[in-house]
Structure 1
Amino acid sequence: MGDVVVVGLPRGGVPVAFQVARALGAPLDVILVRKLGVPYQPELGFGAIGEGGVRVVNPDVVRLARLTDDEMAAVERRERAELERRARRFRGAREPVDLAGRTVIVVDDGIATGGTARAACQVARAHGASMVVLAVPVGAPETIASLRGDADEIVCLDTPDHFYAIGAWYEDFTQTSDEDVMECLHRA
């Protein structure tokens, strides 16, 4: 599995990714993304950023929200600082695993709206992944269908008609801590 790398979305996706990486004998890393939210409507993303200066922007949202370059830059500065803080916290001095030319399996604990998963797939591709596989235990059926253009392949074990929330499909959905994430990365 030398050409495969498993990346988990912190925090909840990392323990799931740990199990996938262990089963495949593949390296594990985190994939850090931050949504770029419209200033007056932060839940509406106009794009996303990832490590290594990766920036993905949706020009339709930028146009419809009439965002200026200064507004976008201010949001990106704030989110870039948080992304770098989290990278230092989770990895310490360790470099991210190189994704270029590899099959990258992006793992989360589930998918509700799909914004973070979409951004993670785009960031993996921008880092040169030759193939992007999105793997989750559970997801909302319509969201999983909408992500087909962002990943080369989607593996979702369950797409219940009455989805409600990710936590409803787990026996134990205790919040994953930063320490849990670091422990998984260390053990891998």
Structure 2
Amino acid sequence: MLALPRGGVPVAYEVAHTLKAPLDVFLVRKLGVPGYEEVAMGAIASGGVRVLNEDVVRRAGVTPQAIAAAEKREQAELARRERAYREGRTPAPIQGRTVLLVDDGVATGATLRAGLKALRALSLARVVVAVPVAPPEVCRTLKAEADEVVCLLTPPDFMAVGQFYRDFHQTSDEEVRELLTRAASPQPSTVQPEE
């Protein structure tokens, strides 16, 4: 199971715990439109993968120089998070396996699409995207790129991921590290020894 940090980690932790599956992170960063950084014009992922939403780039009039500047900034953050989250642990072996790629929800799909593109280069058996909520049209787009997409809610009135959470606080680096450490620790048995 791979989680997209930061918000995808708490969701993936619960799923991994339930499925008794190993958990790791897959680092992807959104490339925000200059001046409107919350609007994704694309994303980058580990391994030098970049996905651009050409419609957003064209409509916002983003120059190649602005894209390169955003990419350079986000590459630095990708490297920082790699060091911070792994704490010396090596990435989970995933080649030839089925990977469940989890996020806390999807708005535009740019981040997940970059993750999918990067994972496709790693010779996986299958990639399954799992998210609690996304707009219907984004789920359709993701289904064309993933082997399978599990999306619990696809509301037609989707405006933002946060509208579907009671508590949508920003997940901190500390929370990510704590959940990854907990997931890597052996789980105590719940079976009581016979007397």
Task: Check whether TM > 0.5.
Answer: yes
Aligned residue in 2 for 1:3: none
* Structure 1, unaligned runs of 5 or more: 1-5
Aligned residue in 2 for 1:172: 167
Aligned residue in 1 for 2:191: none
> Equivalent residues in 2 for 1:97-136 (5 A)?
97-136=92-131
Residues 54 and 126, structure 1, Cα contact 8 Å, conserved in 2:
no
Taking every aligned residue pair, what percent have the same amino acid on both sides?
52
Query: Secondary structure of 2:112's match?
Result: helix
User: Is residue 2:42 matched to residue 1:55?
Assistant: no
Residues 133 and 152, structure 2, Cα contact 8 Å, conserved in 1:
yes
How far did 1:56 drift? 3.7
TM-score w.r.t. the length of structure 1 is 0.81
User: Is residue 2:85 matched to residue 1:85?
Assistant: no
In structure 2, how many angstroms separate the alpha carbons of the residues matched to 1:44 and 1:116?
8
User: Is residue 2:24 matched to residue 1:24?
Assistant: no
Residue from 168, 172, 180 that aligns with 1:185:
180
Q: Deviations over 1:79-104 (max 9, x none)?
A: 22211101111111111112211111
Q: How many residues align?
A: 179
User: Is residue 2:114 matched to residue 1:152?
Assistant: no
Residues 7 and 107, structure 1, Cα contact 8 Å, conserved in 2:
yes
Q: Deviations over 1:12-38 (max 9, x none)?
A: 110000011112211101110124567
In structure 1, how many angstroms separate the alpha carbons of the residues matched to 2:31 and 2:169?
27
Q: Deviations over 1:57-94 (max 9, x none)?
A: 55978xx78976x8766554332221110111111111
Query: Secondary structure of 1:83's match?
Result: helix
In structure 2, how many angstroms separate the alpha carbons of the residues matched to 1:117 and 1:11?
13
How far did 1:41 drift? 8.4
* Structure 2, unaligned runs of 5 or more: 184-195
TM-score w.r.t. the length of structure 2 is 0.78
Higher-Rg member (1/2):
2
Residue identity matched to 1:172: D
Residue from 133, 137, 155 that aligns with 1:138:
133
Query: Secondary structure of 2:9's match?
Result: helix
Q: Deviations over 1:149-181 (max 9, x none)?
A: 221100011111211221111222222111111
In structure 2, how many angstroms separate the alpha carbons of the residues matched to 1:73 and 1:161?
34
Relative distance call for 1:80 and 1:105 in structure 2 (3 A) is same
Kindly report the root-mean-square deviation, in angstroms, between the aligned alpha carbons of the 2 structures.
Answer: 2.6
